[in-house]
Amino acid sequence: MANHKSAIKRIRSNERKRLANRYYAKTMRNALRDFRATEDLKEASERLPKLISQIDRLAKRSVIHKNKAANLKSKCMKKVAKLQ
């Protein structure tokens, strides 16, 4: 157990950040799942910018790795191109 006041505070803040990161990562995964299930070009084109923005935000905050973000975005763009 932490002995210093600052260490105790750090444990509390880390837990809050961990829960927030889990929420945002799960939200992104759900959006990705819905996007992948889309077969309509118009709907996929509308969802793509929002999904890419979400992925970029998570990569910027180091919730997901920047290379993983790049791979996810690439696969999403390939899917939209394939629907055409």
What is the tens place of the pLDDT at every residue in 6-46? 999 999 999 999 999 999 999 999 999 999 999 999 999 99
In Å, how far are 8, 15, 83 from 30, measured between CA atoms?
34, 23, 21
How far is it, in rounded angstroms, from Cα 71 to Cα 55? 10
In this structure, what CATH number is given to the domain that contains residue 54?
1.20.58.110
Range of the domain at 12: 5-83
- The pLDDT assigned to 84 comes to 82
Tokens of 17: 């950040």
Q: How far apart are the first and last CA of the chain?
A: 57
Number of structural domains found in the chain: 1
Mind giving me the DSSP string for 8-21? Answer: HHHHHHHHHHHHHH
Share of the chain above pLDDT 90, in %: 95
What is the tens place of the pLDDT at every residue in 34-84? 999 999 999 999 999 999 999 999 999 999 999 999 999 999 999 999 998
- The pLDDT assigned to 64 comes to 96
- For 47, other C-beta atoms within 10 Å of its C-beta total 18
